[in-house]
Amino acid sequence: MLYSIQEIKEGVKKGDFLFLSKTISHIENQEEGAAAYTSELPMDKVPVLGFTGPPGAGKSTLIASLVGALVNEQKKVAVLSVDPSSVIHEGALLGDRIRMREWYLHPSVFIRSLATRGHLGGLIQNIDQVVLLLQSAGFDYIILETVGVGQSEVQVAKIAYPTVLVLVPEAGDEIQMMKSGLFEVANIYVVNKCDRPEAQKFANHLKQTLADRSSAAKKTYIVQTTANTKEGILELLDVIKQFG
């Protein structure tokens, strides 16, 4: 069943996300009427932040810390975390709900796992419809977390602005791999886990790489964070706000 956007907004306002969750399932499963429903939704100008990066970079921990900073500012946040599909039931593996468990029941935070179901690009086939629903539902920020990273995973940059690429100090080889793909479309480059050795050296190398490939028409920023201690999170939020 597809619920009215007014019912969903009222639920979001109360922190009751049941109507929203059921409607997303309807859209995700491409059930009858879903496309017509989303085509009639009013789209509010709600920022959509895209987070991507190699597995193990700490994307979910970084997002959880960023959500905390936004909640402290009395913001309502929706997080769509795209997980690999289970080979048994084709559903999402729900890894985000483990890493973001402190926000799972918070009335200002909606977290939803979506399964790729084999779709390339780091997101899901009808992610644009789900994002449109969330933009109409009364949230202040929408955060997309992609399943991983690779040259084909640039779809996030078509939906989100800014796109945040999360890297770790050991990612030197990955920089070379991504130069002709996602590395070109990111707006904010986060060097996470900066409490590790060689972190500053890696950040300097990244700055030089970006300087060599910079374009006057594109704003790019580098932010150093240690997500598990929340170091650099407020700086990251300040940079994100510059894209609003």
H or E element, residue 109: strand 109-115
Cα separation of 141 and 176, whole Å?
A: 32
> Over its length of 244 residues, how does the chain's per-residue pLDDT go in tens digits?
689 999 999 999 999 999 999 999 999 888 999 989 999 998 788 999 999 888 888 998 999 999 999 999 999 999 998 865 433 334 444 454 456 778 988 999 999 988 654 444 445 568 889 999 999 999 999 999 886 655 445 678 888 999 999 999 886 655 655 555 667 778 999 999 999 988 999 899 888 888 876 666 677 899 999 999 999 999 999 999 999 7
Residues whose CB falls within 8 Å of the CB of residue 165, separated by 6 or more in sequence, listed in order: 52, 53, 149, 178, 182, 183, 186, 188, 189, 190
- Predicted pLDDT at 8: 95
Strands 188-191 and 77-83: unpaired
* CA distances, 110 to each of 12, 57, 103, 170 (Å): 9, 23, 8, 32
Residue carrying structure tokens 């559903």: 91
- Predicted pLDDT at 125: 67
Residues whose CB falls within 8 Å of the CB of residue 208, separated by 6 or more in sequence, listed in order: none
* CA distances, 72 to each of 67, 80, 110, 197 (Å): 9, 20, 15, 31
CB atoms within 10 A of CB 83: 20
Domain boundaries, the chain: 5-241
- Predicted pLDDT at 94: 47
Q: How many residues are present in the chain?
A: 244
Helix extents (H) in the chain: 5-14, 18-28, 34-39, 59-72, 95-99, 127-135, 155-159, 172-178, 182-185, 199-212, 233-241
Render pLDDT for 105-131 as a digit per residue (tens, 0 to 9): 899 999 998 865 444 444 556 888 999
Structural fold of domain 5-241: Rossmann fold (3.40.50)
- Angle value at C-alpha 164, between 161 and 169, nearest 5 degrees: 170
* CA distances, 138 to each of 14, 75, 150 (Å): 11, 10, 32
Query: Which amino acid is residue 188, in one-letter code?
Result: I
- Predicted pLDDT at 218: 74
| Backbone phi, psi, residue 191, to 5° | -95, 100
- Predicted pLDDT at 149: 53
